[in-house]
Amino acid sequence: MTYQRFTEKYKRTFFVPSPKRKRKMPLLEFTSKGIYCAAADVYLDPWKKVSKALITHGHSDHARWGHQQYITHHDNVPIIRHRLGKIVVTGKAYGESFTINGVRFSFHPAGHVPGSSQIRVEHRGEIWVFTGDYKLDNDGISTPFEAVRCHSFITECTFGLPVFDWQAPERVHHEINTWWATNQTQGLTSLLMGYSLGKAQRLLKHLDPNIGKIFTHGATEKMTDVLRSQIDFPETHLIHRDTEKKEITGQLVLAPPAVMGSAWIKKLGKLSTGYASGWMAFRGARRRRAVDKAFVLSDHADWKGLLQAIEATGCENVITTHGYTDIFAQYLREKGWNARTEKTQYEAETPETVLTE
Ligand SMILES: [Zn+2]
């Protein structure tokens, strides 16, 4: 027997590897498909096709097409059906807990857009919360944000810089109505732009119908129509091929930001353009959008809001997913939290991408 063969045999005979220590898996992991709960075999807002997906809200980077089964809040069911077509979806109420393979799940208000939720996950005494997107201000159309106690908090931080400090939304809505009334006296039509899911309805809800008529772009009208069964809105008039300029002069037109620079905008006549977004807090973003009037109004928490939300959870661990993740996590570590960043495919809107949806 050669020395080599002897050592091989010796190894096989006497070398017994110690049993592999099972490393405790975290309750939620970040995988190539999305945020995964292995114990329940479900994903939260996955970005690749999976068999079972829990969905926080209807924006396209969180509710994607192709999953075999969707579970979400009742109010989000018509929204994702409208956006994704024929899907298998189950609706849940806020606070209603349900169990998958022994793991307890429940949806809680995120205050971001109608039907938006945070997802609470509990297993063997450990509690995690995934926020999706959220804001603390009451927008008048979404169930207001509720803090949920947890050990680990997975948070967005789209506006996770101290420069983002929102003023009271009522002031912004007042500003918008004043702008519309002033344009009207000058014979101008007011074109107000905001995302077609969430922002557009929030704007609509607070427009003053005593000033004039409210017209809509098709994309805005369709989404608003989906939400009319849940929310009371002022009357709107869809702009169609035969709509004449003189009908809309002095009135207000609600449209998605993508209309800027399009042929559609030309048929509106003499305009004053307004754009509502958190990014309008940046002067550079205002200039690039080339709008006449910028309204700083966001469906995401500002710096103080993010910190307030985190504190209210009583959590020890924070994972930042999209936005100013590294700066925000660094700040949290300095303040004593165990904070880190994980890569996801949630597209934090940026000053460059706000025109698309
Ligand atoms: Zn969103």
Percent of the chain surpassing pLDDT 70: 89
Residues 45, 34: Cα–Cα separation, whole Å: 7
Indicate the CATH number of 169-295 among 3.40.1130.10, 3.40.50.10890, 3.40.50.9100, 1.10.357.10: 3.40.50.10890
DSSP sequence for 134-174: --SS--SSSPPP-----SEEEEEETT-STT--PPPHHHHHH
Most confident of 8-17, 82-91, 339-348: 82-91
- What pLDDT does 356 receive? 36
* pLDDT value at 309 more than 70: yes
Which of the four pLDDT bands, split at 50, 70 and 90, describes residue 4?
Answer: low
CATH number assigned to the domain covering 29-164+300-341: 3.60.15.10
CB atoms within 10 A of CB 232: 7
Q: How far is the CA of 343 from the centre of ligand 1 (A)?
A: 17
State residue 290's pLDDT score: 79
**39 or 353: whose pLDDT is higher?**
39
Tell me, in angstroms, the distance from the centre of ligand 1 to residue 59's CA.
5
Is the per-residue pLDDT at 67 higher than 60? yes
* Average pLDDT rounded to a whole number, residues 328-333: 96
| Span(s) in the chain for CATH 3.60.15.10 | 29-164+300-341
pLDDT-derived band at 24 (thresholds 50, 70, 90) equals confident
Confidence of residue 218 (pLDDT cuts 50, 70, 90): very high
Mean pLDDT over residues 167-172, rounded? 96
What 8-state DSSP symbol labels residue 270?
Answer: S
The CA 186 to ligand 1 mean position distance, Å, reads: 36
pLDDT tops 90 at residue 6: no
Region 54-67 average pLDDT: 96
Ligand 1 is a single-atom ion; what residues have CB below 5 A from it? 59, 133
Q: What are phi and psi for residue 321, nearest 5 degrees?
A: -115, -40
Report the pLDDT averaged over residues 156-182: 96
As a whole number, mean pLDDT of residues 33-38 equals 98
Give the pLDDT of residue 25. Answer: 86
Please give the pLDDT value at position 14. 55
Angle (deg, nearest 10), helices 218-227 and 77-84 = 150
Alpha-carbon distance 219 to 255, whole Å? 7
**How many angstroms is it from 326 CA to the middle of ligand 1?**
20
Q: Report the b/e string of 96-119 with b at 16+ CB within 10 A.
A: eeeebeebebbbbbbbbbbbbbbb
Distance 107 CA to ligand 1 centre (A): 16
Predicted TM-score (pTM) of this structure = 0.90
- What separation in Å is there between the alpha carbon of 99 and the centre of ligand 1? 26
Q: pLDDT band at residue 20, thresholds of 50, 70 and 90?
A: low
Q: Which residues of 129-140 are buried (b: 16+ CB within 10 A; e: fewer)?
A: bbbbbbbbbebe
Task: Tell how far the Cα of 192 is from the centroid of ligand 1, in angstroms.
Answer: 20
Mean pLDDT of the chain: 91
How far is the centre of ligand 1, averaged over its atoms, from the C-alpha of 261 (Å)? 25
For residues 1-9, give the mean pLDDT.
59
State yes or no: pLDDT of 16 exceeds 80. no
* Structure confidence at residue 286 as a pLDDT band (50, 70, 90): low
C-alpha span between 71 and 66 (Å, rounded):
13
- Residue labelled with tokens 């997975």: 154
- Exposure pattern of 252-273 as b/e (b: 16+ CB <10 Å)? bbbbbbbbbeeeebeebbebbb
* Residue 315 CA to ligand 1 centre (angstroms): 23
Task: Classify each residue of 292-316 as buried b or exposed e, where b means 16 or more C-beta atoms within 10 Å of its C-beta.
Answer: ebbbbbbbbbbbebbbebbeebebe
**13 CA → ligand 1 middle, Å:** 59
Q: Ligand 1 centre from 163 Cα, in Å? A: 21
Model pLDDT for residues 231-285, shown as the tens digit of each residue: 999 999 999 988 998 999 999 999 999 998 888 998 899 999 999 999 888 777 6
Region(s) of the chain under CATH 3.40.50.10890: 169-295
* Ligand 1 center–CA 112 separation, angstroms: 7
CA of 4 to the centre of ligand 1 (A): 63
pLDDT at position 111: 98
Q: What is the pLDDT of residues 71-90, one digit of tens each?
A: 999 999 999 999 999 999 99
Mean local confidence (pLDDT), 158-186: 97
- Statement: residue 136 has pLDDT above 50: yes
221 HSE (CA, 13 A, CB side): 12
Q: Residue 355 has what pLDDT?
A: 40
Q: Could you tell me which residues come within 8 angstroms of residue 220 by beta carbon, excluding any fewer than 6 positions away?
A: 196, 200, 254, 255, 256
Maximum CA extent, the chain = 103
